[in-house]
Amino acid sequence: MRDDLAGMIGRLEAARGRRILVIGDLILDRYIWGSVDRISPEAPVPVLELTHETYTLGGAANVAHNLAILGARVDLVGLVGADQDRDRLVGLCRDAGIETAGVLEDARRPTTTKTRVIGHNQQIVRIDREQRTSLGPDQVAAASRYLEAVFPSLDAVVVSDYSKGTVTEALLDELRRLCRARPVPVVVDPKSTQFAMYRDFSVMTPNQIEAGTGAGFKIRDELTLVEAGYKLRASLNLEAVLITRGANGMSLFEKGKDVVHIPTVARNVYDVTGAGDTVTSVMALALAADLSFVESSHLANCAAGVVVGKFGTATVTLDELGALAPTPGA
């Protein structure tokens, strides 16, 4: 399959301009960078001498950013607060060419922000500012109206659930209703323990721990991995399940087919932050480009191998994917 990588990337490149909607929890990732050369006399903690701060898109916003980098036309549905971090997040989305008309604002909650303090490229601590209250009926109605308005022109949908309250049964019921009338690929990255609400979609991309949670037992070996993959696919009426397994690569469970194990291509692993977002985004764009589940999974695996070699929340480009393709005649 890796010998066909160049051809698959070519088809992915030809999918530029495909319209993909991302529904999920929007997160602003803040990085505080500095150096640590001493321990505080006040307590046994390091003293960070701050050099600079950076902001990147996280959660569902990172999925949208990955898709935009790959050339997709991206719409975003999610929830933010009425604060300075909202301005930063929406501004970063607009800078990336992501449509934010579907982003809802709620002054009663903060924009979800994860602050990572970094000293000498080592994460010292992470500080989360968030509220996990689910969307209210009025917010679900507003999101559903936007979903219905854009749905006729969509080529794929991503559901990126970080358990911050955006992804609800009611909102997914509306998505299922629209998909029954006009089927499009729906890729779900799960986080909730309520796996039943992810039913009847195209493909789900849990990591191994999440897959075990959904299946109801711990995955200990290949036997329990295979049992969990097929159980999730059948019980949720999905077309496929792609379980990401870190250093062990990925495993694809497709309806009516044998499991396909895909070895990792990562050479260096510096940071796994956002790797799942990259898998989800590449999977969605590949399916929108009419690639098979196996082909889409191989591309997603290659993309994950690229981003884990970068520090912080990262994206992947078509050129970076192309660099993994075997050289003709080599």
* Residues annotated catalytic, as ranges: 277
Instruction: Using the structure block, give the residue that is written with the tokens 């690929």.
Output: 185
Q: Residue 120, by phi and psi: left (phi above 0), alpha (psi -120 to 50) or beta?
A: left
Q: Give the orientation angle of helix 293-307 with respect to helix 5-14, to 10 degrees.
A: 90
Q: Give the orientation angle of helix 60-69 with respect to helix 275-288, to 10 degrees.
A: 50
- Nearest alpha carbon to residue 66 among 285, 309, 312: 285
Report the distance separating Cα 112 and Cα 17, nearest Å. 29
Report the distance separating Cα 190 and Cα 317, nearest Å. 24
Report the distance separating Cα 271 and Cα 287, nearest Å. 27
Q: Are strands 19-24 and 156-160 parallel, antiparallel or unpaired?
A: parallel
Q: Give the DSSP per-residue string, 265-307.
A: --S--S--TTHHHHHHHHHHHHHHTT--HHHHHHHHHHHHHHH
What does each C-alpha distance from 55 to 2, 212, 220, 297 come to in angstroms? 35, 33, 37, 29
Structure token digits, residue 265: 């291509």
Q: Give the orientation angle of helix 222-235 with respect to helix 208-215, to 10 degrees.
A: 60
∠ CA(147), CA(150), CA(156), 5° rounding?
Answer: 85
